Amino acid sequence: MTFVSQVINDGHTTVREKWAKEFTEAHPNVKIDHQTIPTDQYPVKLQTLFAAGTPPDVYCYLQEITPIITVATKKMHLPLTDYIERDSLDLSDFRPDALNLYIWEDVTYAIPRDYGNQNIYYNSDLFDAAGVETPPSDWEDKTWTFDKFLETAQALTKSGTDQGDQWGFLVNRAQRPWASWLYSNGGALVHKDEKGVATDSAMTDEASVQALQFAQDLIHKHKVAPTPDIESELGGFDLFATGRVGMMINNPSAVNRYRTIEDFKWDVATIPLGAADRRGTGGGGTGWASGAATAIPDTAWEFIKHITTPEAELDEVSVGATTPARVSVVTSDAFLDPSKPPANGKAFAQAQEYVVRDPVHVSWPEAFQRIYVPAMDTLWSGAADAATVAQQIKDGADPLFARSE
């Protein structure tokens, strides 16, 4: 059986080798070929395997790379609904929205592995030194607004410190972090139909443009965030870890990396709230699935069950780099671990209630890579304002969204 998994850290390899060993001990006739692929190579590896007609028997499925509608339309995965019903598999411990990522037209195509989101990580010592109140971790809080965030970032920004310039914030230019500004201002990446399928770009909506301009202004107008070239040269996490950035947005799965910081105290907080009534955070998850062409569907299903138990999620928690999809695990002491930072780790679980999933459309990966990414690069560089960038994206992406397959 081929088992292909995306690897973020060495712990992932260790845990998944453990699963393979456990399974083969219980099923002596099964031999597992575990292939670990680095994150940056993972999409290409999967595309190659599926294109060759040799998809993995079990693999880590990323719906942001291959939308669930594509999986269903092209019959890429082994449908799991009948197996779930046959075995009366209890899925009630999984977050419903995590399960829904892998269901299309009442058919389940994967079982959740995790359910991530975006949070603000902040340097508590820099806040104390500046005499600034730390941001709230409660996602229901209404006081942590865009304006309050900017005021805080300005108070944390200094020139000519012993280490060099100090910035209040670092703009994470990955899609889910920057999209969180849109969601929390009432904007969106796309408009959707009644089934949740993207119909056209929403980037030119007033709320979206305002949020984009706010994010760009953090860098080029207010100068409370380093420019992309400085970040690329010095490294985003390294800028934070060396005390030169007060706040940045990142996923809970990065928490183990932050726990390597020993020179200062840090914690996590909610995303600021803009003009929207309710903040939103970019997120989603990965799931465990089987290629439809598998010659051993029953064995693949048994292995998927084995690696989606509470015990398996706790295995991944033990090595970091995951945000559990099971409610019992994401709220457990094993995940929150009060003996380790962040003190406000419970915010990770609360943030799951505010996740806005990635657009669902067969052309979304193409639209994002071909249209959204290069246009957004001009926003971050300061070469064009938000309204211009938003219009470029809409003009380029809408013809792709008009395609049904």
Number of domain units in the chain:
2
Write down the pLDDT at residue 164. 73
CA–chain centroid gap for 257, Å, is 16
For 210, 284, 403, the CA distances from 184, given in Å and listed in that order, are 11, 16, 29
Q: How many CA atoms within 13 Å lie on the side-chain side of 165?
A: 14
Q: How sure is the predictor about 255, in pLDDT bands with cuts at 50, 70 and 90?
A: confident
Token match 């089934």: residue?
Answer: 195
Range(s) of the domain holding residue 175: 119-281+363-401
What average pLDDT score do residues 274-286 get?
Answer: 96
Task: Read off the pLDDT of residues 189-239 as tens digits, 9 standing for 90 and up.
Answer: 999 999 999 999 999 999 999 999 999 999 999 999 999 999 999 999 999
pTM, two decimal places: 0.94
Instruction: Tell me which of 68-72, 91-95, 231-235 is least confident.
Output: 231-235
Are the C-beta atoms of residues 100 and 283 closer than 8 Å to each other?
no
% of the chain at pLDDT higher than 70? 99
Report the pLDDT value the prediction gives residue 9, as an integer from 0 to 100: 78
- Listing DSSP states for 365-404 in one string gives HHHIIIIIHHHHHHHHHTSS-HHHHHHHHHHHHHHHHT--
Confirm whether 211 is domain-assigned.
yes
Residue 162's pLDDT band (boundaries 50, 70, 90)? low
Looking at the structure, tell me whether residues 69 and 38 fall in a common domain.
Answer: yes
The 10s digit of each residue's pLDDT in 297-323 is 999 999 999 999 999 999 999 887 789
Same domain, 224 and 124: yes
Question: For residue 358, is it within any domain?
Answer: no
CATH code for the domain in which residue 128 is found:
3.40.190.10
pLDDT, mean over the chain:
95
Instruction: Fill in the DSSP letter of residue 52.
Output: T
Q: Is the pLDDT of residue 405 over 80?
A: no
Question: For the purposes of burial, counting CB atoms within 10 Å of the CB of 25, is it exposed (0-12), middle (13-18) or buried (19 or more)?
Answer: exposed
Do residues 103 and 159 share a domain? no
**Does residue 229 sit in the same domain as residue 257?**
yes
In a domain, 248, yes or no: yes
| Domain membership flag for residue 53 | yes
Q: What is the DSSP letter of 291?
A: B
Q: Evaluate whether residue 357 is within a structural domain.
A: no
Residue 120 pLDDT more than 70? Answer: yes
The secondary element (H helix, E strand) that includes residue 269 is: strand 266-269
